[in-house]
Amino acid sequence: MASDDGHSERAGSIASSHTETGGHDDFNEKTAYIRDDESLTALKSPATYQDSSFEDDVHEEDEELLAHPAEKPPPPSSSATSGIVWIVVNTLATVGIVFTNKAIFSDPSLKLAQLTFAAFHFCITWLTLFILSRQRFGYFEPRRTSIRAIFPLSVAMALNVILPNLSLAFSSVTFYQVARILLTPCVALMNFVLYKATLPRNALFALVPACLGVAMVSYYDSLPASDASVKTTSGLGVIFAFSGIFASSLYTVWIGAYHRKLQMSSMQLLFNQAPVSAFMLLYVIPFVDTFPVWAEVPLNRWAMIMLSGGFAALINISQFFIIAQTGPVSSTVVGHVKTCTIVALGWMSSGRAIGDKSVMGVFVAIGGIIAYSIVMLKENRKKAGQGAK
């Protein structure tokens, strides 16, 4: 699970192909949401939104909530090396889960079993967090809340995983990942509409080319190709992509409110969400999923499914250490590295020529979101300097 920036995974992964894009998105991965999207970012009033970035706030909030006397923090600064190791693990697992899931969904017999696949990942996520919370490891202290309290967020979490995975199933990897860039402007728009929260003017200007680049890729990648070996995006893939961006944005906005309402860290919140989401899907799966003949599923597909679950577990484990050992700048850079890596590998495997028109959209979109991140980091540094005075 992924998520698909320095955002999606920072608040915990939710086991999907969702990866972050460097703005808000690896909470996706932020799962493997997670975020790696910042998909689990903190909700802000208009004043706070202007004074700090999502990544700063989530980082500080999780550190405060994770710093519980009964919890065992990750080993202190064995850190620079340890942080780099976990970042590498997280990056490889995030890239790996996207291409593994794409290979799984390329099998027509598994393509329409999305809810079952999501429920499997939610179970892997819960099991991973359960192990990390045991006394032998003690990386966080589990806290319980009522199903009624967590149910709306669990529904949003399920949509945050299922819709992006459907997008991946019906799209090229390049389009899937570039489209996730829209999570940043979409979250900004939702915060403005709902809470009158605003962004610096230069940040808004940077989001214009990001959106324009995604539009270019959407258009050119969905055109029929004369060469049958070239992988394109179907109309359904575009619909699922934009629906998934809306669902992920809503989840991003809600998650901040739940952090504060329930006073839980991202790990504690995800520990409560995952089983509720999995159990809820059990009631829907028989009416929605199209199942393969399980006995006829090839052994290599089963191996890929297990590998995808393993990547999800690695994303969850590494995310805990990344939250504790890195800052917003590192997370943002790592998010961009993941985005560029997935896009580059997706392009190489798509069969498209270097001169294909959609490549311009890719560069414009990624350039815009990187410019946005630079503007926000400078703005945060300036605010921090003013606060220090």
Q: What domain range is 323 assigned to? A: 46-384
Which range (167-176, 224-233, 261-270, 301-310) has the least confidence? 224-233
Span of 61-75, 236-250, 260-274 with lowest mean pLDDT: 61-75
Give domain status of residue 38, yes or no. Answer: no
Q: What pLDDT is attached to residue 67?
A: 41
Position 26 scores a pLDDT of: 40
Please work out, in degrees rounded to the nearest 5, the angle formed at the alpha carbon of residue 388 by the alpha carbons of 385 and 389: 95
Look-up of token digits 């570039």: 178
Percentage of the chain with pLDDT > 90? 42
| Residue 389 in domain | no
User: Is residue 188 one of the residues assigned to a domain?
Assistant: yes
Q: Indicate whether 7 belongs to any domain.
A: no
Cα 330 to its chain centre, rounded Å, is 16
In a domain, 30, yes or no: no
Q: What is the pLDDT of residue 17?
A: 60
pLDDT score at 388: 65
Q: Is residue 350 part of a domain?
A: yes
Split at pLDDT 50, 70, 90, the class of 186 is very high
Quick one: what percent of the chain has pLDDT higher than 70?
77
User: Are the C-beta atoms of 26 and 37 separated by less than 8 Å?
Assistant: yes
Mean pLDDT of the region 186-211: 89
Residue 245 pLDDT:
94
pLDDT digits (tens, 9 = 90+) for 304-330: 999 999 998 898 788 777 766 776 667
- Report pLDDT digits (tens) over 113-148: 999 999 999 999 999 999 988 888 888 888 999 999
Q: Report the C-alpha gap between 262 and 241 in whole angstroms.
A: 31
Stretch 244-266: mean pLDDT, rounded?
A: 87
Identify the band that residue 389 occupies on the pLDDT scale cut at 50, 70 and 90.
Answer: low
Give dist(CA 183, CA 24) in Å, integer.
7
| HEC profile of 256-279 | HHHHHHHCCCHHHHHHHHHHHHHH
The CA-based angle 96-102-107, given to 5 degrees, is: 135
- The pLDDT tens digits for 72-108 are 554 444 567 777 888 899 999 999 999 999 999 999 8
* pTM for this model (two decimals): 0.79
Contact 58, 42 (CB under 8 A): yes
* Count of domains for the chain: 1
Element (H, E) at 352: none
| pLDDT band at 64; cut points 50, 70, 90 | very low
* Nearest alpha carbon to residue 352 among 234, 178, 229, 222: 229
The string of pLDDT tens digits covering residues 153-163 is 999 999 999 99
- Tell me the average pLDDT of the chain: 79
Cα separations in angstroms, 261 against 127, 140, 149, 265? 25, 19, 10, 11
User: Is 276 inside a domain boundary?
Assistant: yes
Does pLDDT of 31 surpass 80?
Answer: no
3-class DSSP state of 40: coil
Q: Which residue has the tokens 């939610």?
A: 122
pLDDT band (50, 70, 90) for residue 355: low
290 within domain boundaries: yes
Spell 10-49 as b/e; 16+ CB within 10 A means b.
bbbbbbbbbbbbbbbbbbbbbbbbbbbbbbbbbbbeeeeb
Kindly write down the DSSP assignment for every residue of 95-131, as one continuous string.
Answer: HHHHHHHHHHHTSHHHHT-HHHHHHHHHHHHHHHHHH
Among 78-87, 212-221, 260-269, which is the least confidently predicted range?
78-87
Neighbours of 374 (CB within 10 A): 14
Tell me the C-alpha distance between 8 and 148, whole Å: 25
